[in-house]
């Protein structure tokens, strides 16, 4: 019997500096998290929360208007340490786990934030950048944005773009579409005799 596998579809939203304003030592911090946990094709948990940034707690106007996140939402969110404890819970079931993100920034920023806060990285898992998988699979020259990729499939994203849980769900939906296409290509349909013989030529031989 095949062992159960867990996929964690994760999206974070980050703080942003004001345009054309240099802030000393500024780095992006996670302010919203969306996670969809899937075990053997079944969603087992959906988690969403705001997170209070540690180093630069005051959001810039650019960040608030771009993400439609208010200062009050992050002020009343999880502390960074509560957020890390929540992420660690996804290791507890001891399942073979793959973290799936769209792009590599989410895990980069999480690692940097953990380093700055002096806490251990919370996951023991393989990591898959679905945007690169998508690019390889479709032979795109450029990396495609998450919602553009969905539209290329003739679908719509879930909820609203730049909402962490909606983007995590949209990533999960694309993952399912790509996996389905890969399976389809790996198992070509058996050819029929009609595919192997051009009957019009065949009949002409006897005309």
| Tally of domains within the chain | 1
The CATH code of the domain that includes 183 is 3.30.420.10
CB 168 within 8 A of CB 181: no
**124: containing domain:** 5-206
Average pLDDT, the chain: 84
Annotated catalytic, 162? yes
Q: Provide the pairing of β-strand 96-101 with 5-14.
A: parallel
Q: How far is residue 1's CA from residue 151's CA, in Å, rounded to a whole number? A: 37
Q: How far is residue 55's CA from residue 107's CA, in Å, rounded to a whole number? A: 18
Q: How far is residue 68's CA from residue 41's CA, in Å, rounded to a whole number? A: 32
Structure confidence by residue, pLDDT tens digits, 95-109: 999 999 999 999 999
Tokens describing residue 55: 């180093």
Which residue among 127, 133, 152, 162 is the active-site one? 162
Task: Kindly report the pTM of this predicted structure.
Answer: 0.81
Structure confidence by residue, pLDDT tens digits, 46-76: 999 999 999 999 999 999 999 999 999 999 9
**pLDDT higher at 174 or 42:** 42
Confidence class for position 152, pLDDT limits 50, 70, 90? low
Give the pLDDT score at 71: 98
Annotated catalytic, 13? yes
Which residue among 7, 13, 29, 32 is the active-site one? 13
């Amino acid at each position: 019997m095949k062992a159960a596998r867990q996929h964690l579809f994760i999206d974070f939203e980050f703080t942003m500096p004001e345009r054309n304003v240099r802030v000393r030592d500024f780095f992006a911090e996670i302010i919203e998290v969306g996670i969809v946990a899937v075990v053997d094709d079944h969603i087992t948990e959906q988690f969403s929360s705001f997170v209070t940034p540690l180093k630069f707690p005051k959001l810039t106007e650019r960040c608030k208007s771009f993400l439609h996140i208010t200062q009050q939402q992050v002020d009343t969110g999880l502390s960074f340490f509560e957020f890390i404890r929540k992420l660690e819970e996804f290791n507890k079931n001891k399942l073979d786990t793959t973290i799936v993100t769209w792009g590599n920034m989410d895990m980069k920023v999480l690692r940097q934030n953990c380093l700055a806060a002096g806490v251990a990285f919370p996951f023991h898992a393989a990591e898959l950048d679905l945007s690169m998988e998508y690019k390889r699979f479709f032979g795109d020259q450029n990396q495609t944005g998450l919602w553009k990729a969905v539209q290329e499939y003739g679908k719509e994203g879930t909820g609203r773009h730049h909402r962490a849980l909606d983007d995590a769900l949209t990533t999960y939906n694309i993952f399912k579409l790509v996996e389905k296409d890969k399976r389809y290509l790996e198992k070509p349909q058996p050819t029929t005799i009609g595919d192997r013989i051009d009957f019009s030529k065949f009949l002409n031989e006897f005309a």
